[in-house]
Amino acid sequence: MNFDEVIDRRSTESLKWRRYGEEVLPLWVADMDFRCPPEVMDALHARVDHGIFGYGLVPKDLPEIVVERMQRLYGWQISPEDVCFVPGVVTGFNLALRAVCSPGDSILFQTPAYPPFFSAIDNASMQRVENSLVRCPDDQYCIDFERFEQQIVNHKVKFFLLCNPQNPTGRVFTKDELLRMAKICLQHDVTICSDDIHCDLIYSGHRHIPMASLDEEIAAKTITLIAPSKTYNIAGLHASVAIIQDPTLRQSYSRARSGLVSTPCLLSLIAARAAYLLGDVWLGEVLAYLEANRDWLYTEIQNYLPGVRMAKPEGTFLAWLDCKEMNLEPSPYQFFLDNAKVGLNNGLDFGKEGQGFLRLNFGTPRSTLVEALEKMRQALKERI
């Protein structure tokens, strides 16, 4: 696959490329500027060519494909009945909140955080309990476990919303970290929902571990959400998976969705099946390209954007840039949008810890990254 190819997306309905004017280079929302695996396109073409789109069923072998994938990639033994299909991970954790909690309950999550974490809790009339991740000397983020537990006790937390790999920081939590979080949650009867949407996008030296795979007791209190969307760049097709091993928890989840949230549409499920069954050669290639982009970006920022700090993401295709030292007015986001014509994510959208930060999507051809970094470098140079 030629990931260097620049594909015109401005002439399509792309949210990423149509949010700003044509003069702005967008590196914000988390979709990649690469064609999805050819096997996915072939499967969609074949189904479209059939020409009839009546009510559909989940492909008969798709739950087994998910079961096999979890065993092969993560050594996690699940059953087909544990697998539920939902139209999106955001839908999935909104459902999880309503399945387990009631209005007024306290929900713990770690910040900076994916913006829909904030809105999901607010929309359900529940209480946000934000536990800030701690900045370490290497610019990576760590967990203050003492504070983590204190927050649960002080606020009588009922539900923990985890993101692993973490968005926006790119942390891939270790087995020890996951075990400590899980044991604290078990001790205080806290249900866990783990958003693992970026779990397949992990870089050298790191390994994704589903929290529910750690032991049966943890699995019984955990809802895990995965999707082919980020992995294979098919986010607009809205097919995701909720893995719920405890029958009672799974029944609550099913009740919460009744009459409101259906299974993904037929074409979404066809794409998901093809991606999971046939897309791993493409995935290996895109991972190598993304890791090279990450390393190039890290070096360029160190050398040519003085005052900007970046920890190398351990997973995801998102870089979390610390611009606080530069005092860019009115904000780093607005400065680079106005002066460099580069559209990034505003760090403040990820919580108060994001003030002075930007999130940059490096899932794009290298030439696009080069152009964006040069525009940003020039904007800083002219400011001085």
Q: Do residues 266 and 285 share a domain?
A: no
Q: How far apart are CA 331 and CA 355, in angstroms?
A: 8
Residue 4 lies in a domain: no
**332: preceding bond cis by omega (within 30 degrees):** no
Q: Do residues 19 and 59 share a domain?
A: no
What is the torsional sign of CA 141, 144, 145, 150?
negative
Q: Do residues 202 and 263 share a domain?
A: yes
Place of tokens 């309503």: 98
What are the residues whose beta carbons fall under 8 Å from the beta carbon of 255, sequence distance 6 or more? Answer: 99
pLDDT for residue 351: 97
Element (H, E) at 346: strand 345-346
For residue 13, give the DSSP letter. Answer: T
Q: Do residues 273 and 287 share a domain?
A: no
Q: Do residues 334 and 233 share a domain?
A: no
Q: Considering just the CA atoms, what is the radius of gyration of the chain in Å? A: 21
Q: Do residues 156 and 256 share a domain?
A: yes
Residue 6 lies in a domain: no
- The CATH number of the domain holding residue 145 is 3.40.640.10
- Beta partners for 202? 315
Q: What is the pLDDT of residues 273-314, one digit of tens each?
A: 999 999 999 999 999 999 999 999 999 999 999 899 999 999
Residue 8 lies in a domain: no
Three-state DSSP at 121 gives helix
Q: Do residues 122 and 238 share a domain?
A: yes
Q: Do residues 57 and 33 share a domain?
A: no
State yes or no: pLDDT of 244 exceeds 90: yes
Q: What is the pLDDT of residues 142-195, one digit of tens each?
A: 999 999 999 999 999 999 999 999 999 999 999 999 999 999 999 999 999 999
State yes or no: pLDDT of 343 exceeds 70: yes
Q: What is the pLDDT of residues 118-153, one digit of tens each?
A: 999 999 999 999 999 999 888 899 999 999 999 999
pTM of this structure: 0.96
Q: How far apart are CA 192 and CA 107, in angstroms?
A: 10
Count: domains in the chain? 2
Q: What is the pLDDT of residues 113-125, one digit of tens each?
A: 999 999 999 999 9
Distances (CA, A) of 233 to 148, 198, 229, 256: 34, 11, 5, 29
Q: What angle do CA 66, 68, 69 make, to 5 degrees?
A: 65
Q: Do residues 260 and 291 share a domain?
A: no
Residue 46 lies in a domain: no
Q: What is the pLDDT of residues 222-231, one digit of tens each?
A: 999 999 999 9
Q: What angle do CA 27, 143, 327 make, to 5 degrees?
A: 45
Task: Find, among 246, 233, 220, 159, the residue nearest to 195 by Cα.
Answer: 159
CB 131 within 8 A of CB 147: yes
Q: Do residues 164 and 231 share a domain?
A: yes
Q: Residue 96 belongs to what domain range?
A: 52-278
Q: How far apart are CA 308 and CA 319, in angstroms?
A: 12
Residue 9 lies in a domain: no
Place of tokens 């087909």: 80
